[in-house]
Amino acid sequence: MTNPWEQRFAERTTRMKSSFIRELLKVTNQPDVISFGGGFPAGELFPVEQVKEACAKVLAEHPLKALQYSTTEGYDPLRQYLVDDYRSRGINIGLENLQITGGSQQALDFIGRIFINNGDKVLVESPTYLGALQAWNAYGPEYVTVQTDDDGMRIDELEERIQAEKPKFIYVLPNFHNPMGVSLTVERRKKIVELSHHYNIPLVEDDPYGKLIFEGEMLPSIAAFDCAYREGSDDFNGNVIHTSTFSKILAPGLRIGWAIGPTDVIKKMTQAKQGADLQCSTFDQYVAYELVAGDWLPDHIETIKRVYKERRDTMLQAFEDFMPEGTTWTTPAGGLFLWLRLPEGCDALELFPKAVEERVAYVPGMPFYPIDGPRNTMRLNFSASQPDKIREGVRRISVMVKNALAEKK
Amino acid sequence: MTNPWEQRFAERTTRMKSSFIRELLKVTNQPDVISFGGGFPAGELFPVEQVKEACAKVLAEHPLKALQYSTTEGYDPLRQYLVDDYRSRGINIGLENLQITGGSQQALDFIGRIFINNGDKVLVESPTYLGALQAWNAYGPEYVTVQTDDDGMRIDELEERIQAEKPKFIYVLPNFHNPMGVSLTVERRKKIVELSHHYNIPLVEDDPYGKLIFEGEMLPSIAAFDCAYREGSDDFNGNVIHTSTFSKILAPGLRIGWAIGPTDVIKKMTQAKQGADLQCSTFDQYVAYELVAGDWLPDHIETIKRVYKERRDTMLQAFEDFMPEGTTWTTPAGGLFLWLRLPEGCDALELFPKAVEERVAYVPGMPFYPIDGPRNTMRLNFSASQPDKIREGVRRISVMVKNALAEKK
């Protein structure tokens, strides 16, 4: 049976694919599977009591406004909170530089919508955030890649690729990179801003996890270095669009993210948002504002950092204890993920069914490579599992890998 | 000062315009302006107590799930509620035929994203919903129009335009049409389904207000006639994509809408949603489910209908009492809007600044015409103002119109 819609899909749908991760993880939802696959924050840390209080307060004080249509740009007190937060970090934005979006995912979609013509070259890291590729594929870019190592995007390669390819923009994940967990060094952050200005190629800085640093201080944002580079300029009219979200410090179920950028870019983004869905949930924005305006938040972030650090440490120790020789991994200073490299010859995608047999799940590294990459890598999430589960899950992965290596001999 | 982003906007941004209505209404936010301009439901009818209870229940019973990431398709109990509601109305869908979206606006955007190639012909009413045009313009369609009269889209013209233009799909607002307030007759609903099958041209039925009927019974949906046409088919694999929303019966601030359609269309829509924003607010979906699952809802809808009918009647009476000869209007049987036609020679757009001087606002009809239309029309919202304000507002419009007519002599 066909219907007339099926014969009418737009050409761009041939480039839209269902998320590999979401499809893969459907098989791992059974309760006895230890999953390092998803990108979930630890639910047991959600500020449930504070959300209850915030809902009650919003519905007592602003019931009609919080349930009504509101402006496309977002709830002004929430936007002002974010503006003040960025200004305290050396990023001199005003309200006109910030658009509230449905998670930072929607900000990425809008960047695609307002900048990518079919065939445009977009420079991304290899590997990079799968959701950015998924958002942009519909707009038909050609990806140009630069390798990412344990210090973030490789700047030597970046300059060479800029010269050779003249990409439309550069996309970089500076903090606790998804999927690798690595961070861009301060030196490289400065250099990337210099290159951006030297070659007049703008930058997208995607920073969903920056505040979740559990070793050292929060690193200055690339947007801050861009402001510093343009010293004396008193508006935010530079080379950087920066995206972030409350998903990792409040709760992802509220779907509140944002983009900051030059005024004219934000104006176009607001137009995109009008056409896309008019606005984000007014109610969730009011609730999020009550949450972030509370003085409990810094302590809450400290708690998340402490718990995630403990989980990361448990995972690293389990690697030491269980994984076979030849396995290496990144050591993230924050965030939710790390990157495991199996011994040469192991194919993490091919091994996935065996992992499911062992009742453990991960995401094979392959889909994170925009073009191509090594097949022995995997992304592991350490934020969503208790330490005992983490240790047991790594043990199960080690069994699977050791069996695979034994079979090869 | 320029930045490198400004030189890089995608070609499609030239077709993206800020909503005329939103821009226009910014000047009318002063408290002494009586505004018939927006499309707001009556805030004082929002079920605030029920929302309070729903929030408390969700956070007591499902705190971790309601604040966590969830599936792109939407919250299953909410989807099942909608499936059951549609099935009770002769529309034989299953869960696989329904995608939750950020208001019905996002459903319209996804329809553009998955069906419209640059240059595709899309058949719309003249006038039609401005937000649909705004969602689709980015994808570059060419609009083909059919006039809408007091019985909805003109079917004689429709067949002629289908034959001449072979559009990719037809977009129709059957109930309390935005902006005209008119409804498509049952006879025309049946005929439009027959034409759709005869010419193999699919249909989008946009129905945000269908339940808000205050004269007569709710009319069968075009989707129901499509199911009846395919009698014996036990799946929902026909010619209709149908969109709707909770914005007008619960609260627009929650941003919960949906699309129903053939399974393969919904699969593509889910892929679009993954790239666009991953999912709607988990929390709002849980809250909306608690709200619609409650047995208070039918009474609540009755209250909305009673209040809106009173407001409509007040507006119609005020037209009779105040408007100069030569003015005509539609008499909506439900919904939020009606359509006023000023005496020949009056230009509602040109008169707008004078209306603001009189401290009253409306939306000139012009932007609702995809190509071109008469300039003496305006859309008036009657749901968001108290009866005494409605009467006074119409009086002010009548003063302005009479002055304009006097000046012409």
A43 vs B137: CB contact, 8 Å cut-off? no
Res A231: pLDDT:
86
Instruction: Quickly list DSSP for A271-305.
Output: HHHHHHHSSS-HHHHHHHHHHHHSTTHHHHHHHHH
Which residues, 6+ apart, have CB-to-CB distance to B298 below 8 Å?
Answer: none
CB contact under 8 A, B52 and A51: no
pLDDT digits (tens), chain A, 409 positions = 579 999 999 999 998 877 777 777 777 677 889 999 989 999 999 999 999 999 999 999 999 999 999 999 999 999 999 999 999 999 999 999 999 999 999 999 999 999 999 999 999 999 999 999 999 999 999 999 999 999 999 999 999 999 999 999 999 999 999 999 999 999 999 999 999 999 999 999 999 999 999 998 899 999 999 999 998 777 899 999 999 999 999 999 999 999 999 999 999 999 999 999 999 999 999 999 999 999 999 999 999 999 999 999 999 999 999 999 999 999 999 999 999 999 999 999 999 989 988 999 999 999 999 998 999 999 999 999 999 999 999 999 999 999 999 988 7
Q: What span, in angstroms and rounded, lies between the C-alpha atoms of A342 and A358? A: 17
Q: Which of B1, B2, B5, B241 to mutate to test the interface with A (most CBs of A within 10 A)?
A: B5
- Contacts (Cβ under 8 Å, ≥6 apart) of A354: A400, A403, A404
β-sheet bridge partners, residue B142? B121
- Kindly report the CATH number that applies to the domain delimited by A64-293: 3.40.640.10
Please provide the CATH number assigned to the domain covering B6-47+298-408. Answer: 3.90.1150.10
Show contacts of B295-304: CB within 8 Å, 24+ apart.
Answer: B296/B47, B296/B50, B297/B249, B300/B45, B300/B47, B300/B50, B300/B249, B301/B211, B301/B212, B301/B249, B303/B45, B304/B41, B304/B42, B304/B45, B304/B212, B304/B248, B304/B249
Cβ atoms of B73 and B79 within 8 Å: the answer is: yes
Q: Do A284 and B279 touch (CB under 8 A)?
A: no
Q: Which helix (H) or strand (E) holds A106?
A: helix A103-115
B355 sits in which H/E element:
helix B352-357
Using the beta-carbon criterion (under 8 Å), do A103 and B235 form an inter-chain contact? no
Count other Cβ atoms within 10 Å, centred on residue A45.
Answer: 17
Q: What are phi and psi of B126, to 5 degrees?
A: -130, 105
pLDDT of residue B409: 75
| Chain A residues within 8 A of B266 when measuring between CB atoms | none
Q: Kindly report, as residue ranges, where domains of CATH 3.40.640.10 are found in chain A.
A: 64-293
Tokens for B333?
Answer: 């049987």
Count of residues in chain B: 409
* CB within 8 Å: B253 and A5: no
Q: Does the distance separating the beta carbons of B115 and A68 come in below 8 Å?
A: no
> What are the residue ranges of helices labelled H in B200-351?
222-229, 263-277, 282-293, 297-322
pLDDT at position A247 is 95
Residues of chain B with CATH 3.90.1150.10: 6-47+298-408
Length of chain A: 409
pLDDT recorded at residue B231:
86
What is the Cα–Cα distance from B191 to B214, expressed in whole angstroms? 25
Closest-CA residue of A relative to B268 is: A13
Q: Which of B5, B109, B134 sits opposite A261 (nearest CB)?
A: B5
Q: Which site among A19, A23, A113, A281 would you substitute to test the B interface, given the most B Cβ atoms closer than 10 Å to its Cβ?
A: A281
Using alpha carbons, list the distances in angstroms from residue A338 to A119, A132, A333, A386.
Answer: 32, 19, 10, 16
Closest CA relative to residue A170, chosen from A233, A107, A240:
A240
Query: In sequence order, what are the beta bridge partners of A100?
Result: A258
Q: Smallest Cβ distance to B200: which of A4, A43, A48? A: A4
Report pTM: 0.96
Q: Name the residue facing B46 among A18, A48, A64 (closest C-beta).
A: A64
**Amino acid at residue number B174:** P
Q: Is the dihedral of CA B260, B264, B270, B275 positive or negative?
A: negative
Rg (CA), chain B: 22
Spatial separation of the C-alpha atoms in residues B109 and B243, rounded to whole Å: 11
Res A30: pLDDT: 78
DSSP one-letter string for A127-170: S--HHHHHHHHTT--EEEEEEEETTEE-HHHHHHHHHHH--SEE
Per the CB < 8 Å rule, is B44 touching A64?
Answer: yes
| Per-residue confidence (pLDDT) for residue B1, from 0 to 100 | 59
The per-residue DSSP string of A25-48 comes to HGGG-STTSEE--S----GGGS-H
Whether residue B202 and residue A5 make contact (CB cut-off 8 A), yes or no, is yes
CA distance A182 to A187: 14
Which residues in B lie closer than 8 A to residue A289 (C-beta atoms)? none
| Best to test chain B binding among A1, A5, A123 (most B CBs inside 10 Å) | A5
Report CB contact under 8 Å: B101, A277.
yes
Compute the Cα dihedral for A172, A173, A179, A185 and give only its sign. positive
Burial A1-28, CB ≥16 within 10 A → b, else e:
eebbbeebbbebbeebbebbbbebbeeb
Given this model, what pLDDT does residue B157 score? 97
On whether the CB atoms of residues A338 and A365 are closer than 8 A, the answer is no
Closest Cβ opposite residue B59 in set A18, A52, A169: A52
**C-beta atoms of A276 and B105 within 8 A:** yes
B300 C-beta neighbours (distance < 10 Å), count = 17
Peptide bond into A127 cis (omega under 30): yes
CA B3 to chain centre: 38
Q: Are the beta carbons of A241 and B5 closer than 8 angstroms?
A: yes
B236: closest chain A residue by CA = A3
* Cβ atoms B323, B315 nearer than 8 A: no
**Torsion on CA atoms A279, A283, A284, A285, rounded to nearest 10:** 60
In the chain, the amino acid numbered B356 is: V
Can you tell me the distance from the alpha carbon of A374 to that of B61, in angstroms, rounded to the nearest whole number? 45
**CATH fold of the domain at B62-293:** Aspartate Aminotransferase; domain 2 (3.40.640)
d(CA A125, CA A146): 5
Q: Are strands B203-206 and B152-153 parallel, antiparallel or unpaired?
A: unpaired
Tens digits of pLDDT across chain B (409 residues): 579 999 999 999 998 877 777 767 777 677 889 999 989 999 999 999 999 999 999 999 999 999 999 999 999 999 999 999 999 999 999 999 999 999 999 999 999 999 999 999 999 999 999 999 999 999 999 999 999 999 999 999 999 999 999 999 999 999 999 999 999 999 999 999 999 999 999 999 999 999 999 998 899 999 999 999 998 777 899 999 999 999 999 999 999 999 999 999 999 999 999 999 999 999 999 999 999 999 999 999 999 999 999 999 999 999 999 999 999 999 999 999 999 999 999 999 999 989 988 999 999 999 999 998 999 999 999 999 999 999 999 999 999 999 999 988 7
In Å, how far are A175, A206, B193, B223 from B227, measured between CA atoms? Answer: 52, 46, 10, 6
Burial class (CB in 10 A: 0-12, 13-18, 19+), A81: middle
Name the one residue in this structure whose structure tokens are 């440490």: A313
